[in-house]
């Protein structure tokens, strides 16, 4: 009986786990494999795209006509004009004032030559009233151009239906005059391919600027342009005929909405002669309509010449 009362001893052996060796290298290796796969995928995509598609992607992320501001129609001027000092402004250029040196007062009467001279008594006779008048006239013309550019952008912004093509509408001032351009973008043309008639939204954008142009005395030149590489089914109808017809259709639309014929100096087709991007004549933006408001004064009628 004593043997049956003997206690039973149970031994439990705990096995010690091996030390953890770490798994950070696995995460780093996975990141490396993912990056390599993305790199080779990028190389494959680049090799499969055409130069036009590459340019289109580049324009999508950094379009050449994007302005520094978000105002206006998204053109190169970005809803701003240039004042007389070359700085951008959203309104007409401010009037400039010139400092005129005056001689100090004296109790003694001056000579006749001194009266004709400046504060040093020698350079006053260089004052040219005709030249000063021309400068003032040029300043007024520049202000009219700034106001016209602002009015055109405001007319476009007031039309929600043309918001979708705001990147296709450009207004810029050049030494020649005020350029109003309606350009194609990749995947968003302004005219159907091979047609001289614009899309309806393009027609509305053209019609909106007619009243602004009518208010100015300046002449305009309408020119049609196209990108290189176009194909035409009719051998007797090519890029020269197409760009000429498009420019003339734009003239008719402007006339329909208020621009009189005496404002139009010329309507020309340029074909591919003057690409917007000379380094890439095949780019879609080379296909455009340009309306130039000339800086020169309007011609004098024959019956007023003397």
Could you give the residue ranges of the DSSP H alpha helices within 158-238? 200-214
Buried b (16+ CB within 10 A) or exposed e, 206-242: bbbbbebbeebebbbbbbbbbbeeeeeeeeeeebebb
pLDDT at res. 298:
46
β-pairing verdict for 220-225 and 169-173: unpaired
pLDDT at res. 289:
95
In the chain, where are the structural domains located?
Answer: 73-91+111-304
* pTM of this structure: 0.53
pLDDT at res. 26:
86
Strand arrangement, sheet containing 169-173: 169-173, 177-183, 288-294, 220-225, 264-269
Q: Does domain 73-91+111-304 have CATH number 3.30.360.10?
A: no
Torsion (CA) 76, 81, 87, 89 in degrees, nearest 10: -120
Per-residue pLDDT tens digits of the chain, which is 306 residues long? 455 667 777 776 666 555 555 678 888 888 999 999 999 888 888 888 887 777 777 777 765 554 444 444 444 444 444 444 444 444 444 454 545 555 565 555 555 444 444 445 444 445 455 555 555 555 556 677 788 888 888 888 888 888 888 888 899 888 888 999 999 988 889 999 889 999 999 999 999 999 999 998 889 999 999 999 888 888 899 999 999 999 999 999 999 999 999 999 999 999 999 998 999 989 988 999 999 999 875 444 545 444
């Amino acid at each position: 009986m004593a043997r049956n009362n003997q206690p039973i001893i149970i031994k439990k052996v705990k096995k010690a786990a091996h030390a953890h060796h770490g798994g950070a290298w696995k995460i780093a290796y996975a990141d490396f494999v993912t990056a390599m796969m993305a790199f080779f995928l990028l190389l494959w995509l680049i090799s499969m795209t055409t130069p036009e598609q590459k340019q289109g992607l580049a324009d999508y992320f950094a379009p050449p006509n994007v302005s520094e501001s978000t105002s206006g129609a998204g053109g190169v001027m970005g809803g701003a004009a240039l004042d007389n000092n070359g700085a951008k402004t959203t309104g007409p250029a401010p009037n400039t004032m010139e400092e005129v040196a005056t001689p100090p007062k004296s109790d003694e009467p001056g000579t006749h030559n001194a009266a004709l001279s400046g504060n040093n008594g020698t350079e006053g006779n260089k004052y040219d009233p005709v030249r000063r008048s021309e400068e003032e006239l040029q300043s007024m013309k520049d202000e009219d151009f700034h106001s016209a550019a602002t009015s055109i952008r405001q007319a476009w912004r007031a039309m929600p239906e043309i918001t979708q093509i705001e990147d296709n509408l450009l207004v810029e001032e050049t030494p020649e005059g005020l350029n109003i351009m309606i350009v194609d973008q990749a995947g968003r043309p302004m005219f159907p391919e091979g047609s001289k008639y614009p899309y309806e939204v393009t027609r509305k954008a053209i019609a909106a600027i007619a009243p602004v142009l009518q208010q100015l005395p300046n002449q305009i030149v309408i020119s049609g342009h196209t990108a290189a590489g176009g194909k035409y089914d009719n051998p007797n109808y090519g890029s020269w005929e197409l760009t000429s017809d498009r420019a003339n259709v734009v003239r008719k639309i402007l006339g329909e909405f208020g621009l009189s014929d005496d404002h139009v100096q010329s309507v020309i087709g340029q074909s591919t002669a003057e690409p917007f991007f000379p380094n890439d004549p095949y780019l879609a933006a080379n296909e455009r309509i340009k309306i130039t408001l000339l800086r020169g004064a309007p011609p004098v009628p024959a019956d007023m010449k003397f």
